Structure 1
């Protein structure tokens, strides 16, 4: 399955799961708010408005999933997946705002006993119903989110889990209030709900912010990737492996050291093998940049300031002309290693030992050249 098919599957899953959540939240919120007023439970009413806030976040999830599913374009060459990350932050802010609102209302009631209400037995039944619905939504949403690797679905699942936990606290507070006829226990339960909601919101914001600032993938994943790359034929070592997350995807760039005497096309082939192996072993990896190194440049680049090909040929061609090899020149390969240049000259015919000696003598006087190797082409019979 290619990346485009995975994105379509993820979007369809997000859409289906979120619509299920919308229906459940509408029914449950109405039951909690209306039942809370009838049963005189502030905690249940607060939990009901918390459920209503889920409808807003469900809408955010649907819009974000649709936008994140767009294909890369000129302005967004890496795609639109970061929209999911921004939406997750919005979810966190919504949770935090709901938590603060519930806490302020609970504090006001605790400071003004005349505002406290004595809940009835109906409130306990509705709180238990909310626990069952929210925990069911959490398990369903998280399972699908894990299957399609959707960060926004997992975030919404945690939202449902926070709802379930808050409903447990509501059930305990309301139950104790009904059993012992102590009105402030209901308000205290509402306060506990507020703290839990705010914590969940803060965690979503923190995790998403870490993604926006390009936090690396898990250390054990990075180490296993280095091990995998090192086992690929032709790779001498791997270094400067960098990763960053973009919603459910991981972007990778890595330097691999290969033999300095292989061709460019063979180096490219090795790089393709590295990319293929990473995508095969890690479904999350969507984009890979492989940099080919003839030597380890992690701590230094001794060949950076050496003359380029045009400058070397300006020095070399007069020498070849002087020893009578200019007309036989087929190709020149330059190897930039350890701060010097090794020259490999391919001739159409094998030169005599006398000409080779003259060539070596002239080349030894050229700056930055460590040695010269001469080979000649062989035409198959």
Structure 2
């Protein structure tokens, strides 16, 4: 595990442990006070706080495993473990919301349990709102710092607890005015809040699992940054996907077809560096250098292949004789043909270059005479 990954895992663990301690204390207090005051909403909220301990453990384990270094079996790393943990977290929350919703509906039709309201119920509910909001802000700060969707999801989980506690407080106030049904309504509101955040978590996680691309406006911004690099003619076939708050991208870069391989690659390196400088969440960039525009070509590549150098030279040698071995032959694969540049200091006539076989793939033939100082 790299120093950065180890640090990220440690920060996520520390933040989550602090939240877990708060969840445990609040859960026990809510359940105890809820039984004494006979508040269904407060007991339900207490159970929810205790259930947060399970999700906190999930976040801690996911933080450790997802930050492991790539290996032979996982060359792209283990970030999807964080995505999977988010999916599990959303599923658990949705199940909890369903249970509270079901119990609250029963409460509407059977308000037979006598409710005794005390000052302790109000105090614990207010304490829950304040502490959960504090944990939300604390966790959100580090989630933004680490660009962690799982930690951000846990932060919103805490915010949801704070809002649901407000609903419980409303229910307790209703009981003080003999509106017993308002307690059950408050529990229903708790269920709705939990279900909403659960569905959001599930949707976001599933979008990552099916490799959903970045929004079009972000792709347009990335393309604009790339096109600012000198020597780049065009950018196309931009494909993006996200993994636990990180973005992986591959793209095609069109350069002058006559530049050297190393120059084209260097242009690509500049494009990658420029994109990373502007978009820190993009951590993996794979670029393909194109000598011409193939934006309309399918990702599977051309339907027919042109011959490689050995076959080309054998064909040209049969037509041109010793010239092929004495000169420097440069091949350019353009417009579906093979253009040939012959670099030689010897005089060459048109008759010599006239191909007898006239291969169907042969394109333009150009003779270049090096000047003094050329290598």
TM-score range, shorter-chain basis?
Answer: over 0.9
Query: CA offset at residue 5 of structure 1?
Result: 4.1
Farther off after superposition, 162-171 or 338-347 = 338-347
Unaligned runs of 5+ in 2: none
Alignment of 1:31-180 (within 5 A): 31-115=29-113, 117-178=115-176, 180=177
Match of 2:351 among 346, 358, 376: 358
- Alpha-carbon displacement from aligned partner over 1:189-245 (angstroms, at most 9, x marks no partner): 111111111111111011110011001123222111100111101110101111100
Count of aligned positions: 371
Equivalent in the alignment of 1:311: 311
Distance in 1, Cα, partners of 2:117 & 2:54? 28
Alignment of 1:1-381 (within 5 A): 4-115=2-113, 117-178=115-176, 180-300=177-297, 304-321=304-321, 324-329=322-327, 331-347=328-344, 350-352=345-347, 355-362=348-355, 365-378=358-371, 380=373
Distance in 2, Cα, partners of 1:119 & 1:45? 13
The question of whether the paired residues in 2 share the 8 Å contact of 1:166 and 1:196 is answered with: yes
The question of whether the paired residues in 1 share the 8 Å contact of 2:343 and 2:370 is answered with: yes
Query: CA offset at residue 31 of structure 1?
Result: 1.0
Distance in 2, Cα, partners of 1:116 & 1:92? 34
Distance in 2, Cα, partners of 1:8 & 1:327? 57
- Tell me the SS of whatever aligns to 2:115: coil
Query: CA offset at residue 6 of structure 1?
Result: 3.6
Unaligned runs of 5+ in 1: none
The question of whether the paired residues in 2 share the 8 Å contact of 1:271 and 1:290 is answered with: yes
The question of whether the paired residues in 2 share the 8 Å contact of 1:173 and 1:189 is answered with: yes
Query: CA offset at residue 67 of structure 1?
Result: 0.4
The question of whether the paired residues in 2 share the 8 Å contact of 1:245 and 1:251 is answered with: yes
Distance in 1, Cα, partners of 2:245 & 2:114? 46
The question of whether the paired residues in 1 share the 8 Å contact of 2:38 and 2:113 is answered with: no
Query: CA offset at residue 151 of structure 1?
Result: 1.0
- Tell me the SS of whatever aligns to 1:252: strand
The question of whether the paired residues in 2 share the 8 Å contact of 1:65 and 1:84 is answered with: yes
Distance in 1, Cα, partners of 2:373 & 2:186? 89
Farther off after superposition, 8-17 or 297-306 = 297-306
Distance in 2, Cα, partners of 1:218 & 1:8? 30
Query: CA offset at residue 363 of structure 1?
Result: 6.7
Distance in 2, Cα, partners of 1:78 & 1:18? 26
Distance in 2, Cα, partners of 1:361 & 1:317? 12
- RMSD (Å), alpha carbons: 1.9
The question of whether the paired residues in 1 share the 8 Å contact of 2:37 and 2:115 is answered with: no
Query: CA offset at residue 285 of structure 1?
Result: 1.1
Q: CA, structure 1 residues 26+326, in 2 after alignment: closer, same or farther (shift >3 Å)? A: closer
Distance in 1, Cα, partners of 2:324 & 2:334? 26
Distance in 2, Cα, partners of 1:103 & 1:235? 58
Q: CA, structure 1 residues 304+225, in 2 after alignment: closer, same or farther (shift >3 Å)? A: farther
The question of whether the paired residues in 2 share the 8 Å contact of 1:253 and 1:289 is answered with: yes
Structure-1-length-normalised TM-score:
0.92
The question of whether the paired residues in 2 share the 8 Å contact of 1:306 and 1:368 is answered with: yes
Query: CA offset at residue 319 of structure 1?
Result: 2.1
The question of whether the paired residues in 1 share the 8 Å contact of 2:41 and 2:168 is answered with: yes
- Tell me the SS of whatever aligns to 2:272: helix
Distance in 1, Cα, partners of 2:47 & 2:31? 7
The question of whether the paired residues in 2 share the 8 Å contact of 1:86 and 1:208 is answered with: yes
Distance in 2, Cα, partners of 1:140 & 1:379? 69
Q: CA, structure 1 residues 101+380, in 2 after alignment: closer, same or farther (shift >3 Å)? A: same
Farther off after superposition, 262-271 or 70-79 = 262-271
Structure-2-length-normalised TM-score:
0.94
Query: CA offset at residue 102 of structure 1?
Result: 1.0
